[in-house]
């Protein structure tokens, strides 16, 4: 496209190159900032509830696995002996 003041290079997807007048670039930058602000406000208003639910599920599975490992350790003879000796020493003091 050829304007009155200078040549505007249009790449066909709606962006204007550096040869555009300053007002046109500023207008597009303002419009982009307004759209970005609107998107951020939309995301802040609509929390991703599904993602939070999935995160809770992962935490629950991890906690259950940790509890299973802990129970298995506490049932072992070595840990039972260790805990019994600790309690006996504490009661002797």
pLDDT tens digits, one per residue of 37-75: 888 887 777 666 666 778 889 999 999 999 999 999 888
**pLDDT score at 69:** 94
How large a percentage of the chain has pLDDT more than 70? 69
Is pTM beyond 0.75? Reply is: no
In whole angstroms, how far apart are CA 20 and each of 15, 25, 29, 33, 69? 10, 7, 12, 19, 66
> b/e map of 19-32 (b: 16 or more CB within 10 Å)?
ebeeeeeeeeeeee
């Amino acid at each position: 496209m050829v304007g009155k003041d200078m040549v505007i290079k249009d790449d066909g997807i709606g962006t204007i190159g550096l040869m555009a007048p300053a007002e046109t670039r500023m207008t597009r930058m303002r419009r982009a900032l307004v759209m970005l602000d609107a998107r951020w406000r939309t995301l802040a208003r609509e929390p991703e509830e599904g993602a939070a639910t999935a995160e809770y599920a992962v935490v629950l599975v991890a906690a259950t696995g940790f509890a299973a490992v802990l129970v298995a350790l506490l049932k072992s003879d070595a840990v039972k002996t260790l805990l019994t000796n600790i309690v006996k020493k504490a009661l002797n003091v």
